[in-house]
Structure 1
């Protein structure tokens, strides 16, 4: 009986010696559970799972000290371009700063180029001549050698002496042609339109007037034909029913106005 109890005690002691020690639960940054760090623990767990035929446990992600570029940040190539553009902008800014206020405004309005302002120190522009050369009338030296102020004065006086004022004269009589002159008739008759001067027989006057006046292309042609057929004393065609001597609405006023001014 004592022997059996001794064997049991020895077995318990052996099992106690083989059991792993309970790790310290105190937090320790950089150390895992029973390992020096968490990466080693994760690798061991993955290895044990593969040996047991279970699914592989993914290894812990490796966190690098090098940070990836954030969204919206410039890449190294873009950063180089930005730096180059910044350098060019600095040069342009220094150039503008070296100019005066007026030159800065002029350069801004002229695409960054300061315009050349008028100054006596600027070189004279080059004269562009055509194939015939500059005209002597535009050459001051040539004109000055040929003429003088006294000579120009005498020339002006000679031109004034030859000046003549032409007074208006009467309209000359037109030669040739047998048709009546309505201009002369308009100037000779001084009574207004609608004033009866000659006697008329108004039988069917309205119809004859409208029908016969419609045959002429203009009142001037109707007046010429009216005078050629014995008017204004006689009116065979009925062109002057009111007896004023003016046929088919012809009016002498424009001719009188032209002569009287």
Structure 2
């Protein structure tokens, strides 16, 4: 009797368990999943979203799918935000370079030539007028033929350039004898009368120099009055 009761209980339990699907049913059939009648049954369906929530409030709209383009409103809003940020940083209004926002026209300045501006030149010149202007400029050319150098007649007084090239000693080298006292102070007073050392040297040579120094312009006897320096003329002749 006890055996029969246990067998009846086990049969009742077996009847309550669900049937196990045949896993081999989907093998070789691409439309059927393992343990399912079809592949669609193996993928859970996405839950449907109602336009109304449980409490009656509107549900958020789904995000639009990407299409590869751009939203003009979003671009304009982004540019406006960039302009506000730049203006806040620099304190100046941002100027965007675009065909709809051309650069300001330059202010006319009469002091600046517009010869390189094709439109400006074309507005006031023509091919004929340009040809006439070239001919006018060519007519004003003057060719100067070279002439012979003028000969020196010896009446122009001493020539400091010729004297500098004839001498070879350095300035300060005693070549001529000088007599008298207070030579440096006398030279300072007398040299102050000349505007430059070249005029003093010319006057010195015209008054008997370099062998004689009547005006006290060459107390060291080097033949150069008032510290006149022949070096620049010598270097020019060497070049």
Structure 1 and Structure 2 fold alike (TM over 0.5) = no
- TM-score of the superposed pair, with normalisation by structure 2: 0.41
When you count helix as a share of all residues, which structure comes out higher? 1
- TM-score of the superposed pair, with normalisation by structure 1: 0.39
Structure index of larger Rg: 1
